[in-house]
Structure 1
Amino acid sequence: MKETYTVEDLQFLMSQLRNPDGGCPWDLKQTFSSIVPSTIEEAYEVAEAIELEDFEHLHEELGDLLFQVIFYAQLGREQGHFDFSRIVDTLVRKLVRRHPHVFPSGDLHGDNQTREIDEQQVKANWELIKAAEREAKGEQGTLDGVAAGLPALTRAAKLQKRASQVGFDWPEIDGVLAKVEEEVRELREAIASGNSEHSREELGDLLFSCVNVARHLNEDPEAALRQCNRKFQQRFGAVESALKQRNLQPSDVSLEELDQLWEEAKK
């Protein structure tokens, strides 16, 4: 057994898992579409490890995510679409192109003299280069190219950011908060009307406005909600623990008592 395995070893392992002669039955039946849920799950596990500063396990989670890329590369090679080397080549070329202040020659190993540039200029140049890339792909609209498969909160933030870059934005957060209050009123009216379709539409408008608040605070709405989810889970766990000491379940007590235990957990 080797002391340290490499990316090449990982690629070879993947080819053996997909080998029709003696490979893994589960891996052999997978397709591009079938492993997408695993890819999303692994990406979130990486995000969670970082947010919890669980660096002891982060390298393992990153490995799981890398395996997803290797899996797609194997499928691409088998079907004649692309292979791992093409993935790497395309990525390096794109990053060189998007960092002209670091690679002004346009060549990774060329005669590069790094230029002095601040972070805001880097971001501005990055967006200009990405806009040119989108135009080259035939994406003409400001919002073209924002992946429809993104989590809804993340996609909302990206759509809002794109619109903001062309001036469609509130100048101050006060206007955003006022919009949230307006959407709450409209949701109340929709609920009172008894029209479920209208209520769902107004709920979406409210969530979209809340994402805008996060964007104006320079916060990731997905990360904020994940943190809130963890907090809720911890507090509800404390409520259940307090009840368990009395041999009770949440369903055994009144809402008022649950609320009292909740307030104690918050403290």
Structure 2
Amino acid sequence: MEKQFNDLPGRRQEQLMAFDRLLTIMDELREQCPWDRKQTMDTLRHLTIEETYELSDAILENDLPEIKKELGDVLLHIVFYAKIGSEQADDAVRFDIKDVLNGISEKLISRHPHIYGDFVAEDEEAVKQNWEKLKLKEGNKSVLGGVPASLPALVKAMRIQEKARGVGFDWDEKQQVWNKVEEELQEFKENFDIEKHEVIDQKEAEGEFGDLLFSLVNYSRFVDINPETALERTNKKFIRRFQYLEEASNADGKALSDMTLTEMDAYWNKAKTLGV
């Protein structure tokens, strides 16, 4: 028996009313606003990607007010896509937000038999491995088939390795992985004439560098470091310190184009000392 609205706790009623308000606004905008009426799934796609990255930035900065704002933007896009889906003429492909919500609910129930069935999962790893097995039973032809082709390469490497691990294809010990990192580093170095500082074979060097990065991503999993997050935090740190270098040198009447690397390093090291 499904729950009735009035039987729900007050907080849940407030949440559903807020969601209903958004759906109503979406209906009105789609009907009355020239811009909203013109949008398609294709025109929204790049905007959705942008909103997702803005949410990611807010999460990295641990900016909760901004996270709340960006979650709203992402939710709007989900509602927008569902609205467009409900307008399709073909009954076979038409869907609305109810279908989206029911679909993900059924998927979650199906993928969590340790909660909604009789499967026993003692730890997180058991859950992950069973998840991949269930996806294969659902019709996926490959364990790696669910990795989006357009993912950034670093994120994609992490997801590929996680999915392979889900079916047991992985190293046993992190020392084995680190040995692989050192092996790949040596193979990369072999593509250079160290004395002349020249690449011997550019294509081969690129391939070995890719192998080195892949092995480093592999090792990061074994020490519980997300490589995408780690690199992005380093990017942000570099930006902060470089901008300090620009501002501090400018305040001293110096132009970066006229400074030596040693002079710039002095500002850079001061930024580090100040915790920038």
Q: Quick one: distance in 2 between partners of 1:23 and 1:143?
A: 42
Amino acid at match of 1:128: N
**Would the alpha carbon gap of residues 260 and 185 (structure 1) be closer, same or farther in structure 2, given more than 3 Å must change?**
farther
From 106, 109, 113, the equivalent of 1:93 is 106
Secondary structure of the equivalent of 2:149?
coil
From 74, 95, 103, the equivalent of 2:83 is 74
From 121, 124, 127, the equivalent of 2:126 is 124
Residues 1:62 and 2:71 are matched in the alignment? yes
Q: Quick one: distance in 1 between partners of 2:28 and 2:232?
A: 37
Q: Deviations over 1:198-228 (max 9, x none)?
A: 3332222222122112111112111111111
**Would the alpha carbon gap of residues 71 and 200 (structure 1) be closer, same or farther in structure 2, given more than 3 Å must change?**
farther
Answer whether contact 1:134 1:145 (CA < 8 A) is retained.
no
Partner of 1:215: 221
Residues 1:205 and 2:211 are matched in the alignment? yes
Q: Deviations over 1:162-212 (max 9, x none)?
A: 222344323222332332233333333435445433333222222212211
In structure 1, list runs of 5 or more residues that go unmatched: 106-114
Identity among equivalent pairs (%) = 37
TM-score, normalised relative to structure 1: 0.81
Residues 1:24 and 2:14 are matched in the alignment? no
Amino acid at match of 2:255: Q
Residues 1:83 and 2:84 are matched in the alignment? no
Q: Deviations over 1:81-131 (max 9, x none)?
A: 3211100001111112223343349xxxxxxxxx9964x1x5414531442
Q: Deviations over 1:221-258 (max 9, x none)?
A: 11111111111111112211221112223222112222
Partner of 1:266: 272
Answer whether contact 1:73 1:83 (CA < 8 A) is retained.
yes
Secondary structure of the equivalent of 1:65?
helix
Secondary structure of the equivalent of 2:254?
coil
Aligned residues: 250
**Greater helix fraction, Structure 1 or Structure 2:** 2
Runs of 4+ in 1 over 6 A off after TM superposition: none
Answer whether contact 2:128 2:166 (CA < 8 A) is retained.
no
Residues 1:135 and 2:124 are matched in the alignment? no
Q: Structure 2 matches for 1:1-267, cutoff 5 A?
A: 6-19=18-31, 22-25=32-35, 27-79=36-88, 80-104=93-117, 118=122, 120=123, 123-137=125-139, 139-190=140-191, 192-267=198-273
- Aligned Cα RMSD in Å? 2.7
Q: Deviations over 1:4-58 (max 9, x none)?
A: 9722222232233333xx4233x33433233223222222322332332211222
In structure 2, list runs of 5 or more residues that go unmatched: 1-13, 193-197
TM-score, normalised relative to structure 2: 0.79
